[in-house]
Amino acid sequence: CALPICDVLAIPATYGAPMYRFPPRQQVLADIQRFVDQCLDDKATPVLIANQIGTAQELMSVLGKAGYRLRVHRSIYDVAKLYKEMGLTLPNARRFQGSPAKDEVVIFPPILRKHASIRKLRKYKTAIVSGHAVDPAFVFSQKVDAAFPLSDTADFQDLLEFISATGARDVYLVDGHIEELSKELRDRFGVRVYSLIKPKQLSLF
């Protein structure tokens, strides 16, 4: 689609800090496939933890087309049905029920990464798939076996390039790293930046 040219822009600052610079997408997807193959070789079920809208369906598309058999959580499967209605192919995927076969890859949303359905698997390894995977502190907090920086949201450099290309002189930011991105936009491009997040009132007690 054509890049919108505008005077005023509102955009999420999800990965608006300099630390969020993602490796090439194809490299990350290849790394994920290697993780899956290593798990299967080790007779362990690969469990990928990914946002249920966007990233999870990309994993379904890439892994399904590569021939892997997938078992995905209901919330992810329901969104995938909408993708299919739009003509996108997501092969080799079934809704998660019961126990996966030994050669199946499981995909669950982050909120259910400690779900009983996962914990009762005989042998498994988990990997978080998120743009936050570039943050070592985040990865440590997730207590997973691997982490892969894949996201359907722009990283820091892509955000800067997109905002600059729109020509917007007034930029409204919401979510994520608002302060870091605000400073960078003011310093580099001299734009006026506003936060759409209400400031927190400090408690006196």
Residue 68: C-alpha distances to residues 71, 91, 100, 110 (Å): 10, 9, 13, 21
Confidence of residue 198 (pLDDT cuts 50, 70, 90): low
pLDDT of 200 reads: 60
Q: What is the predicted pLDDT for the residue at 197?
A: 78
Place of tokens 């329901």: 78
pLDDT value of position 191: 95
Q: Provide the 10 A C-beta neighbour count for residue 25.
A: 13
**pLDDT score recorded for residue 131:** 97
Q: How far is C-alpha 6 from the chain's CA centre?
A: 27
CB 163 within 8 A of CB 185: yes
Residues 176 and 16: beta-carbon distance below 8 Å: yes
Mean pLDDT, rounded, for 126-139: 97
CA distance 46 to 104: 8
pLDDT, tens digit, 9 for 90 and up, residues 81-117: 999 999 998 999 999 998 899 999 999 999 999 999 9
- Average pLDDT for 129-133: 97
Residue 204 above 60 pLDDT? no
Residue 199 in this model has a pLDDT that exceeds 70: no
Q: State the pLDDT confidence band at 137, using cuts at 50, 70 and 90.
A: very high
Residue 90 and residue 178: Cα distance in Å, rounded? 35
**pLDDT for 152-185, tens place per residue?**
999 999 999 999 999 999 999 999 999 999 999 9
At 72 the pLDDT is 97
What pLDDT was estimated at residue 202? 60
Q: What share of the chain is helix, strand, coil (3-state, %, to 5)?
A: 40, 20, 40
Q: Is the pTM of this model over 0.75?
A: yes
196 CB contacts (<8 Å, ≥6 apart)?
10, 172, 173, 174
pLDDT digits (tens, 9 = 90+) for 23-61: 999 999 999 999 999 999 999 999 999 999 999 999 999
Q: Where are the alpha helices (DSSP H) in the chain?
A: 25-41, 55-65, 74-85, 116-119, 136-142, 156-166, 178-189
